[in-house]
Structure 1
Amino acid sequence: MTRIVIVGDVGGCADELRRVVLPATEDPDAIVVQVGDLVDRGPDSAGVLALVAERLTAAPRRWIQLIGNHEGQYLGGERFWPEPLGDDDADLLRRWWLTDRMRVACAVRTADGEEFLVTHAGITVDAWRELGEPVTATTAADLLNTRPEPLLWHDRGPLWAEAAPHLYRSWLDGPVAPPFGQVHGHSTIVSYTRRAWTCPELIRARSTVDWDARHTTTRVSGVRFVAVDPKHGRTGAPAWSPLVLEDATLLA
């Protein structure tokens, strides 16, 4: 059992990451899981990568780094962001990918026994079927970490699925219930700056939001989908928190 700290998208905001991560790394029983999108948009992508590189070197078992679509541009996906990383930072991402320091997924179990698959954008029903319909989050994470092509780069795959129209609706509309919960970044169902919902009523009726932490929780057939992207934008969110799971277990 340990304390698992799940950090949402960083988007080049090194100061915001540092403020959240440093207290967690001082706890010897804490494991940080970062859901990807370390880079782009914010003022200091290089600073973010330097911080993560230090943690992956100093305590690799206590930092789980996942890939987001912004990292995917340098690892096999198509380029879409107009401000590319420098060559050294792009090479660093490629080294992490080639040495398995950057993964697609992990799985966790809470103290109450809930299992969550953790990815950048979540897996839809179609993606779950393409994986062979795994019944546990651990199996799903293991299968995703084999880097299945072309699912990994699909516009509704685990790096690109949008929360409301793709991820949640696929499970709400589908004939099967989700076998496990999910924690993801990439997109959300609210505007934090306007404190307003941006999703259909079907999803809103099943959802709650923590405006201060910048998390949303959507219930689908008894399991939870938790979105942790704080939407830092260009300058960083004025307040936000990681998702902290006390007495949890890292499964995969």
Structure 2
Amino acid sequence: MIEILNPTELARARDTGALVADILQSLKARSTVGTNLLDIDRWAQTMIVEAGAQSCYVDYEPSFGRGPFGHYICTSVNDAVLHGLPHDYTLADGDLLSLDLAVSKAGVAADSAISFIVGASRPPESVALISATERALSAAIAAAGPGARIGDISHAIGTVLLDAGYQVNTQFGGHGIGSTMHQDPHVSNTGRPGRGYQLRPGLLLALEPWVMADTDELVTDPDGWTLRSATGSRTAHSEHTIAITDDGAEILTAPDHAQN
């Protein structure tokens, strides 16, 4: 299913996107050395409930997971990159933490992810991974607009990641979003320009470049959810929900609610 939002629905999407951005920035500020992942999950729950919103994850039960997910946010540390199930782990200096949050409010969902380094250490590999995903996300947003095609976005992401020396996994990527978290069209993190669905104003997309330092192969934890690099290498993940407008793409989950 591909949804095209009307102006009223788009206004609600802006509100949801702003909420997701605010929660993620608050959690980032509170995620310091000594923080437990279960505390992050509880903080997310409190902020979502107090905002009158709903988590897209608690009851999430796709075919690839061992569901329902049962938590309010994905917390992926170091070699974990996607669907990190919050568990009893205390963050240490130099850990690379990815937070992925999807929330629904007033019938419209928004989805975003950030990666950052905990504490004072700045391991060069981690810095490079995060930078590559952020640059790929910026390139993807720049490629999005009315008349562009999904392949243009995929090509923009893949070009940045491959040029940075990373391999690209195509099992998981971006997606349409609207009244539900995951919708068509799928947005691969590499692809051919000029191919695929043509973008229209009112379409919402969650774009999410992610990479692993030295592999494109994933392994799944015994928890049935957490996806890690097969080699144990570090990983990073950046994501924004955008709305296609008459003029280009509006970033709904930017901390400053900026437009591109």
Does TM, scored on the shorter chain, surpass 0.5? Answer: no
TM-score (norm. length: structure 2):
0.30
TM-score (norm. length: structure 1):
0.31
